[in-house]
A = this chain, B = another copy of it.
Amino acid sequence: MFVYEKKLQYPVRIKNPNPRLASYIISQYGGPNGELGASLRYLSQRFSMPYPELKGLLTDIGTEELGHLEMIGTIIYQLTRNLSMDEIKKSGFAPYFVDHTTGVYPVAASGAPWNAISMAVSGDMIADLNEDLAAEQKARAVYDNILRLSDDPDVTDVIRFLREREVVHFQRFGEGLRLATERLDQKNIYAFNPSFDK
């Protein structure tokens, strides 16, 4: 089970509203490479992951990503506070506003709601860990693009922190994959799925 601790993993204090920037960053809330997918991917994969170290790795990172989802939600919320209707109309935020006002909803920058097809749980240790390595790289690339689009230092500072965490997770999943392959039959690494075969 999970316990909520009433603080963010890293502080978010944005002074100036910027609905346009919010409409880009929301892709890390509900886009195909965002924190919702990250968290749910890892917290779902852990059930069938065969070794305790890997189960623990997925639980740790999956739980941290829940906190990142909260941080992104906080960024969206702060960037859309106290908007005038004029700001909403001029910023390209209105299509989102119609259905969600300034609430935080899991959607990509493109407008497509989050869909679980964007993540995989294969029930195969090697495939799942490769999926996780790819997920971290895709999230890192999205953060790179947000850094290219942002000119607000309050936002950039938080995004840099989140991007750095993805790089750390990528390294940890790399170690996990090394551990996983070492435990498999060396002749044919995929001949046996320890999540299913006995």
Q: Would you give the shortest CB distance from A41 to chain B, in whole angstroms?
A: 10
Q: Would B3 and A63 count as touching, CB distance under 8 A?
A: yes
Q: Would A74 and B47 count as touching, CB distance under 8 A?
A: yes
- Please report the C-alpha to C-alpha distance between residue A189 and residue B16 in the assembled complex, in whole angstroms: 31
Residue of B98, B101, B108, B110 touching A27 (CB-CB under 8 A): B98
Q: Would B113 and A111 count as touching, CB distance under 8 A?
A: no
Q: Would you give the shortest CB distance from A145 to chain B, in whole angstroms?
A: 5
Residues in A lying within 8 Å of B, measured CB to CB? 1-5, 7-9, 23-24, 27, 30-33, 36, 40, 43-45, 47-48, 59-60, 63-64, 66-67, 69-70, 73-74, 76-77, 82, 85, 88-89, 92, 94-118, 120-124, 126-128, 130-131, 133-134, 137-138, 140-142, 144-146, 148-149, 167, 190, 193, 195-196, 198
* Interface SS of chain A: helix
Q: Would B23 and A43 count as touching, CB distance under 8 A?
A: no
Q: Would you give the shortest CB distance from A74 to chain B, in whole angstroms?
A: 7
| Closest partner residue, chain B, to A62 (CB atom) | B4
Q: Which of A73, A82, A98 has the most CB of B within 10 A?
A: A98
Known contacts A7-B1, A94-B109; decide if A103 and B44 are in contact (CB<8 Å). Answer: yes
Q: Would B133 and A130 count as touching, CB distance under 8 A?
A: yes
- What are 30 A-B interface contacts by the 8 Å CB criterion? A1-B64, A2-B67, A3-B3, A3-B5, A4-B60, A27-B98, A31-B98, A33-B120, A47-B76, A48-B103, A48-B104, A82-B198, A85-B149, A95-B111, A102-B123, A102-B196, A103-B128, A103-B195, A104-B121, A112-B112, A117-B117, A124-B137, A124-B141, A124-B144, A126-B137, A127-B134, A127-B140, A133-B133, A134-B134, A167-B190
